[in-house]
Chains A and B, each alone.
Chain A
Amino acid sequence: MTPQLVVFFVLAALAVGGALSLIFQKHPIHSALSLIVVMVSLAGLYLLMGAEFVAAVQIIVYGGAIMVLFVFVIMLLNAGVEEHTSISKFAGFPGLLLAFALTGFIAATIARSTDSVQAVAQPGNMASTRDLSTMIFRDFVYPFELTSFLILVAVLGAIVLAQREKA
């Protein structure tokens, strides 16, 4: 076992454990905390693969900004322990089935594309931050701009919805 493999298994266990705990925790804050653990251990996995920039951005955007908003809203609404209705119990069965189907689908896709996965995992193929930015701002600049436009529209929509009625 190389040290890299040991670190990988620790981070992978943390990520999976965090994801399971996210589902099984009763309190929304605990679920949010579990999600943060998942995000941070994913960032650790990226770091292990040499993708320093993606790892840092993963923590800044997902671990920091987005999850802080989650925690903030949960605190602000003072949400309590989740409640179960009779329907939510029935919803568990199809949910479980769908989860298995999704896992199988992803596993099958990964198994079929072994070559390309290994090509990405080669240590020589490290994309620097410069390569990444060239890709985003030159090759994929239109999709990128379109996405930011979409986000802008969403922000405007949120402002319009949140605005108080003028008397």
Chain B
Amino acid sequence: MASEKDLMDAIHKIEADISSFIAASFVDLESGMTLAAKSNRAEFDLSVASAYNSEMVKQKLKIMKALNLKTHLEDMLLTLGDQIHLIRLVTPGTFMYLAADRTGTNLAIVRTAVMKHTTGLF
């Protein structure tokens, strides 16, 4: 398993690639606890966001199961009025959650940066 330092390094690299980076965390899917986290906004409670996003991932996996989809979940993209949120499963039990300001980036950049710096971490 990657150490917290490795995970923080990955977050820092992603932050460097995304100019409007708000926050990012690596989250243990089962418990919703963060393994590493960084937020540039004091009001953005990354712990809470990570926990509830773990529920969202679990629900999505349940939906896939209910639909009998024989594939895996790669990532989830969410577009808010002024933010982009990306969830990417880095292992079956761990995901990365990232939030960025829409004004300074787009989905493709966010997705590429996250994929680039999380592949091979675990």
The answer to whether A and B interact is no
B-to-A contact residues, CB < 8 Å:
none
A-to-B contact residues, CB < 8 Å:
none
